[in-house]
A and B are shown apart, each in its own frame.
Chain A
Amino acid sequence: MLSYLKPSQVISIFLFLFIILFSFASLAISQDTETIEEIIADSVNIFIPTTATDVVAVDHVYDCGEAVDVSWTLSTDDEKIGEYKILRAGEGSPDFVQVGVVLPGNFSFIDKSVESGQSYIYKIAAVYNGNAVESEPSNIVIPDTEPVNWNLLNLFLIGLLIAGAVIYLISHAKSGKKLFIRKIAGLEAIDEAIGRATEMGRPILFIPGINDMDDVQTIAGITLLGRVAKVVADYDIKINMPVARSLVMTTARETIREAYIGAGRPDAYSDDMVRYITDEQFGYVAAVDGIMVREKPATCFYLGAFFAESLILAETGNSIGAIQIAGTAMPAQLPFFVAACDYTLIGEELIAASDYLSGEPRQLGSLKGQDVGKLLAMIALIIGVLSITIADAWGVDFFVWLSDKMDAMFTIQN
């Protein structure tokens, strides 16, 4: 039959057949290869990692028996496994439940879901591709309550030193010795600002921040309100105090009422001087802005805790030409108040304001106590910076030891 074909046609047919056969063969080989790969994969799947060993469970120290520290020696196949599962059972119970998972390389776990006084036992399961190999069980552990948290000894000592200094100087101040306190411009200007409102016959606006009475800044604002209200009661000026918290409202009313009683004019006091607006931050700001624009107070006090609303309030006050005195311990808001207000009490100045204005020896004594704390902080800062710099640069043993000690002294351990 081939003789009927030309040689070129015969070659073409052979070539075609060759290609077809080659393709089939390749396909068959590739299928074989896949099968081999599957076999290899299967063999990998049944790879069993070695277990974690030496599982130790101990009661977490200095708590109310709420945690157990579990530690173990890593599996020798640590780099191959996917994760370690932490399993727990009650003493005598065969049922282990998973209480946590950690990635390879981790050899400890804090189980915080335990109950004080109960007995527990732990196992660690090294997991690879869904196959888990469990370790031998740990020792039995009973989480317990410790009466004193000795980890916080450093904090206790630092607190004791500062609080001791404050208390000592409060009692020492009663002896009547005169204490030097530097002038705070913002506080000196309070009388001037109230005087301006008297001259202009316009009201005073007092904003005690937007936090509740559980914030020291609000309390500081309210103590200053006590001083302001005294002068306001004496000069018979209108004071307007919109607040964002109900508890602040009741406290502020009490403070102003006492000031009016003190000034001998209880009849001039009205509950409407202090009014609740809303707890919602920007709803409050909208209302206060409206009050400012409508009533055009001569003087605005912003004394307390402020957030993003600080600039909106202070810029609106600036636009109506009010004299503005601000004070807050929120460092992020201080630049806004400095830019838009006439006087700003920076951080601790707000908190110290009441003592400063009272001139009462015991309170001034507490300010001195604060200074002792500052002195200690400065000494610690200088020693810390020097020791770590010298230790890092020259590796002098004494300074390495000192920087370690300083680090330990000012680190809170849990």
Chain B
Amino acid sequence: MSDIGLILSIGVIVVGLLWLTIRSLTGREVERRIIFLFIGISVAIPLLFNITVSEKATPIVKGIYDKVENLPSGSKILISFDYGPSMAPEVEPMSDAFLRHALAKGHKVFIMGLWATGQSLGAAAVDKIVKPEFPDKVDGVDYINIGYKAGNQGVLNVIITDFRKMYATDVNGVDLDSVEIFENIRSLKDMDLILCVGGGFPGIKEWVLFAADPGNIPLAGGSAAVATPLLYPYYPKQLIGLLGGIKGAAEYESEMKKNYPRFADMPTPGLNMMGPQTLAHMVVMAFIVIGNLSFFFAKRRKK
């Protein structure tokens, strides 16, 4: 039944696009609302019919995976949740994957956010992933959420020399001096790896400029697709690797599934979203072709 539904839905898109193509031969333009409708359908169909595709990690993604994998167990990894709920569907799969991988490898995880919204998202990640999947991990020993502080890159300017100047307690109000995980931690320079997940300001660029470069700290991250081109100049010298958009998340997830039997059944929002992305890209390409056809035929008519 679902196969018939799928074939019918894709058939509707194809027929619709063909009709628009024929229409474009008369030089007529397509209205914005029709484009919106087709994009909506092309995103919805793979989600409704659960179409997934396989992925293989590219070197820029593998770089991060290998770094987390090769650090000795117990290394200190800071994950910065620098995004809001709006960007979450695209970048949350990245922070989820980083968190799972770091904990599975036995690293100590420090969660923080340069965005006010990052604090809640970090707490939600702890509830969603750490507590049910890693019940043996203890708050304050294996992981900690120190939350958000206002000041954007100014926060980095301070914590690169002293965490306690900015953060006195974690999000639960527990004094940082009394938690085991913060013993021997004074500044960002004590981290073995920083993973920033974001796509706006402040984000990975600020982490490069104000933390990783001046502090000589290994940095990697995941970014929303629209902001990713801006970050390529920093790879591979200042960024160990970069997850670009949902495809980057999907590649990281596939690498985890391949190497960790415990993650065989983990939720893979990144891989799940590659279906809609593939179909939507094809529809966008079809509209570019239609746009060019109507442009040429309109020009010919004018002549």
Contacts and interface: CB of A to CB of B under 8 A. Distances in A.
A and B touch in the complex (CB under 8 A): yes
Contacts of A332: 226-230
Interface stretch (B9-17, B70-78, B96-104, B168-176): B70-78
Contacts of A408: none
B200 A307 contact: yes
B26 interface: no
Interface string A94-125: 00010101110000001011000000000000
Nearest to A64: B161
Interface stretch (A264-272, A278-286, A291-299): A278-286
Contacts of A214: 152-154
A64 B70 CA distance: 31
Contacts of A112: 186-187, 189-190
Nearest to A209: B201
A93 to B, nearest CB: 16
A101 B71 CA distance: 10
B74 A414 contact: no
B270 interface: no
Given A99-B184, A305-B201, A281 B227 contact: no
B227 A307 contact: yes
Contacts of A280: 84, 117
B32 interface: yes
A412 interface: yes
Nearest to B233: A331
A389 interface: no
Contacts of A308: 87, 199-200, 224, 226-227
Nearest to A98: B184
A311 B227 CA distance: 12
Interface string A15-57: 0000000000000000000000000000000000000000000
B58 interface: no
B121 to A, nearest CB: 13
B47 interface: no
Contacts of A113: 184-186, 190
A59 interface: no
Contacts of A281: 84, 86, 200
Contact of B215 (A279, A311, A414): A414
A192 to B, nearest CB: 26
B116 A279 contact: yes
Contacts of B228: 332
A310 B187 CA distance: 35
Contacts of A412: 213
Nearest to B75: A101
A83 B86 contact: no
B50 interface: no
Given A307-B201, A307-B227, A332-B229, A282 B86 contact: yes
Contacts of A331: 229-230
B214 interface: yes
A211 interface: yes
Interface in A310-337: 311, 319, 330-333, 336
Interface in A375-414: 412, 414
B216 interface: yes
A212 interface: yes
Contact of B70 (A99, A101, A103): A103
B107 to A, nearest CB: 11
Contact of A414 (B86, B214, B230): B214
A319 B32 CA distance: 9
Interface of A: 64, 66-67, 83, 97, 99, 101-103, 110, 112-113, 210-212, 214-215, 279-282, 305, 307-308, 311, 319, 330-333, 336, 412, 414
- List 8 tightest A-B contacts by C-beta distance, closest first: A282-B86, A332-B230, A112-B189, A414-B216, A307-B200, A308-B226, A113-B184, A101-B72
30 contacts: A64-B161, A66-B189, A67-B189, A99-B184, A101-B72, A102-B72, A110-B216, A112-B186, A113-B184, A113-B185, A113-B190, A210-B201, A212-B152, A214-B152, A215-B201, A281-B84, A282-B84, A282-B86, A307-B200, A307-B226, A308-B87, A308-B224, A308-B226, A330-B230, A332-B226, A332-B228, A412-B213, A414-B214, A414-B215, A414-B216
Given A67-B189, A282-B84, A307-B200, 8 more contacts: A103-B70, A112-B189, A212-B152, A215-B201, A280-B84, A307-B226, A308-B200, A332-B230
